[in-house]
């Protein structure tokens, strides 16, 4: 496979890039900071330096052309304000979708977040600060935009709280899951299994559990 990962220097994205490249897949990673190229190259990922907050559709389409799938794993990150939650977590995801459509790439995997349902229909969740609420709104808006596109087969993965614990290879993967956490290792492994499965779309929540990853992906409706 040839996979293009947006936000390729992120912790989940780098894990996914290493998994793909280790078995011989071709991986291209979109990053904003040219200083991150060496890290990606060490992972076996070919870097493409492109700022998704500034790039045009044609720029991104040129990178994703010929890919079997694209993965959006970018995020504004901790310390960013409400504005960048929108320009990265929503607008950049939409730009990647526009580019995928332009390049004829059908499969799109979006890394979203558990909790987006809390802000559905403009709801204001109790006890959630303004910035995290903006993050959830941006993720939900990206999901809604992508899932409405007939030209794309979109799989949305909503992980729970992320940890750096070693992966266990066992998860709960379902349309609705109880709140929980999950190692980043296992999130990357689930993304890999979903890419291998060639699914024609799904929206799933992901936390640690008892089911082996391959079985959890196979059992999805």
Q: Percent of the chain at pLDDT above 90?
A: 84
Residue with tokens 């991104």: 60
User: pTM for the whole thing?
Assistant: 0.94
Which band of pLDDT confidence, cut at 50, 70 and 90, is reported for residue 218?
very high
The string of pLDDT tens digits covering residues 92-151 is 999 999 999 999 999 999 999 999 988 888 878 877 788 889 999 999 999 999 999 999
Which band of pLDDT confidence, cut at 50, 70 and 90, is reported for residue 16?
very high
The string of pLDDT tens digits covering residues 22-75 is 999 999 999 999 999 999 999 999 999 999 999 999 999 999 999 999 999 998
Check if the beta carbon of residue 2 is closer than 8 Å to that of residue 25: yes
Active site residues: 135
Tokens of 111: 């890394």
The string of pLDDT tens digits covering residues 120-133 is 888 788 777 888 89
Q: What residue segments make up the domains of the chain, in order of their start?
A: 2-218
Dihedral sign (CA 214, 195, 219, 165): positive
Between CA 207 and CA 221 the distance in angstroms is 18
On whether the 2-218 domain is CATH 3.40.50.720, my answer is: yes
């Amino acid at each position: 496979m040839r996979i293009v990962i947006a936000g390729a220097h992120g912790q989940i994205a780098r894990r996914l890039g290493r998994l793909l490249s280790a078995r011989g897949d071709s991986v291209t990673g979109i990053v904003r900071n040219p200083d991150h190229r060496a890290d990606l190259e060490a992972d076996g990922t070919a870097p493409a330096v492109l700022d998704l907050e500034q790039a045009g559709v044609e720029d991104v389409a040129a990178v994703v052309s010929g890919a079997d799938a694209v993965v959006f794993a970018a995020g504004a990150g901790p310390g960013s304000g409400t504005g960048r939650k929108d320009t990265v977590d929503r607008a950049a995801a939409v730009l990647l979708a526009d580019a995928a459509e332009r390049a004829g790439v059908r499969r799109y995997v979006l890394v979203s977040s558990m909790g987006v349902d809390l802000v559905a229909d403009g709801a204001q969740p109790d006890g959630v600060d303004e910035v995290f609420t903006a993050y959830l709104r941006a993720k939900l808006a990206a999901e809604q935009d992508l899932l409405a596109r007939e030209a794309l087969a979109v799989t949305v993965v909503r992980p729970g709280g992320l940890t750096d614990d070693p992966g266990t290879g066992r998860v709960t993967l379902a349309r609705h899951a109880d709140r929980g956490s999950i190692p980043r290792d296992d999130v990357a492994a689930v993304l890999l299994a979903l890419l291998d499965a060639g699914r024609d779309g799904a929206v799933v929540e992901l936390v640690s559990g008892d089911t082996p990853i391959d079985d959890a992906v196979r059992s999805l409706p």
